[in-house]
Amino acid sequence: MITAAQLKQRFIRHVLDADTTDYPWWKSVAVFISRLVYAVVRDLARGRLTLQATSLVYSSLLSLVPMLAVSFSILKAFGVHSQLEPALNQFLAPLGPQSTEISGQIIDFVENVQVGVLGTLGLVLLLYTAVTLIQKIEYAFNDTWHIHRARTPTQLFSEYLSVLLVGPVLIFTAVGLAAAVFRSEAVHSLQSIQPIGALVALAATILPALLIIAAFAFLYAFIPNTRVQISSALAGGVVAGVLWQLSGWGFASVIATSSHYRAVYSAFASLILFMMWVYLSWLILLLGASITYYHQHPRQLRWLRREPRLSLRMTEWVALSVLALIAERYYHRQPPWTADKLAGRLHLPQELFDEVLTMLTDCGLLKRIEDRTVSYLPAVPLEITRVHETLITLRRYNEQLGLAPERLQAPDSVQQFMAQIETAATERFSDLNIHDLALSTEATTAAAGPVDLGMPRSRLRRGNLHPSGRGNKPIPGGGK
């Protein structure tokens, strides 16, 4: 009989550590899905997603009425405000008989908020409360995507207001048009004709689910402060939409109809059920965001058994490789590298690679260009940027004044040894700059001899590097 330990070892060997290069497509897909499920379950077990979902429930209770008030005012101006209550009823349908009562109370609150008499300060506070909820959703998504930079105030104003102003109109207009089409006489006449009638009934059943999937995919594509591929957003939207529908049926049939909650919570039963459903909805939304991230960055699934960390040596290797690759394309007047393509070129997890790019950008060596895609260009003249100065800059990154070597009471022997190391590196590579590192092509000269890069010769792709910068071969990975 196979024990649990044996099953675990087989799972690790055949799924987590498997090399799918030579697998048939169906087996590669099965391994990918298994890794994806394992990654999402691991994220849930660690408690990060549940903690974020709990925080969003609290924010929702504070921001729900202001958010709906802003949306209601905009929808009323376009004449489609009557669709707000049916949409709210659909969202709260898993609560069972309490859904109509809760949605009615929320609509009453919203109608009592008269935006026209709030004044400038009241309107600003109303918009701020509504924007805060979207901002907290962005923080949760950015954490899933390992993004440490938030949107600028200009982006917050333009992009968030577009969601608040245009999003509700488009969503409820689409819902209203779909409902009007299915209520039209032409559709009713087609229902009497088979098999067209069966197709119309099937479309009426599937369309709400498709709209939910589209809403999830829109959030996954728009909210994170990075460029999300449409295919990845759709993958997360499909999974989240299916989970949301299944959870709604399960919640309505198991929890909302249970008499135990009313016996325990009495008058608060409706509120408790409402909070539970909102929590479950946020959790499903965050699960879909994780699936979107892993779908776009499948390399991250190769590091599930251990937390990837860059050593000091590896950080220097990656940083110099990035500078060499970017410089090579820059001087050859080719399209600049994007973060995703650079990470794939160097076979690194995206999370760790983003840390190196942030380091190089903060040190003033690279410039982040945000256009249709995020790319990177040199921020300094590379012909006069010395390699040893670059390494010194990287080693001093985030070095605080009180924790610098100059303040360290190290033994004299250690101080002398470290000084000799820095002096030797500076003298040996004083003339080598990033430009030569990226574009050198010849073998090393006899005067200086070959440079030992600290890696086995079998790992070097294109030869050694000469410190003079004249007739050098590129560093490993320096080519295309």
Residue 462 in 3-state DSSP?
Answer: coil
Contacts of 17 (CB under 8 A, 6+ apart): 305
**Locus of tokens 């003079």:** 468
Ramachandran angles phi, psi of 338, nearest 5°: -100, 165
Contacts of 77 (CB under 8 A, 6+ apart): none
B/e letters for 289-311, b = 16+ CB within 10 Å, e = fewer, are bbbbbbbbbebbbbbbeeeeebe
Q: Do 302 and 344 meet the contact criterion of CB atoms below 8 Å apart?
A: no
DSSP tag of 22: T
What are the tokens at 44?
Answer: 């849930």
**Rounded alpha-carbon distances, angstroms, from residue 477 to 64, 184, 217, 325, 328:** 52, 63, 36, 8, 11
What are the tokens at 470?
Answer: 């004249």
Question: How many helices (H) and strands (E) are present in the chain, helices listed first?
Answer: 19, 2
Give the whole-angstrom CA distance, residue 474 versus residue 480: 11
Q: Do 225 and 140 meet the contact criterion of CB atoms below 8 Å apart?
A: no
What are the tokens at 391?
Answer: 């390494």
Residue 338 in 3-state DSSP?
Answer: strand
Give the whole-angstrom CA distance, residue 447 versus residue 185: 91
On the CB side of 136, CA atoms within 13 Å amount to 18
Give the whole-angstrom CA distance, residue 140 versus residue 138: 5
DSSP tag of 117: G
State residue 83's pLDDT score. 64
Give the whole-angstrom CA distance, residue 240 versus residue 90: 16
Give the whole-angstrom CA distance, residue 285 versus residue 49: 10
Burial of residue 168 (CB within 10 Å: 0-12, 13-18, 19+) is buried
Phi/psi region, residue 370 (left: phi>0; alpha: psi -120 to 50; beta: rest), is beta
Q: Do 273 and 95 meet the contact criterion of CB atoms below 8 Å apart?
A: yes
Residue ranges of the chain with per-residue pLDDT less than 70 = 1, 70-85, 97, 110-123, 126, 153-154, 156-158, 160-184, 186-188, 190-192, 194, 197, 200-201, 204, 255-267, 305-306, 372, 401, 441-480
Ordered structural domains, the chain, with CATH: 4-45 (no CATH), 47-302 (no CATH), 312-399+410-459 (1.10.10.10)
State residue 164's pLDDT score. 63
Alpha helices in 145-195 (DSSP H): 153-155, 161-183, 185-191
Burial of residue 68 (CB within 10 Å: 0-12, 13-18, 19+) is buried
Q: Do 437 and 387 meet the contact criterion of CB atoms below 8 Å apart?
A: yes
**Rounded alpha-carbon distances, angstroms, from residue 230 to 98, 147, 164, 421:** 37, 19, 22, 50
What are the tokens at 392?
Answer: 């010194």
State residue 454's pLDDT score. 40
State residue 266's pLDDT score. 64
State residue 183's pLDDT score. 65
Provide the pairing of β-strand 374-378 with 366-370. Answer: antiparallel
Note every long-range contact of 106-110, with CB atoms under 8 Å and residues 24 or more positions apart, other chains counting. 106/64, 106/65, 106/68, 109/65, 110/65, 110/68, 110/69, 110/72, 110/84
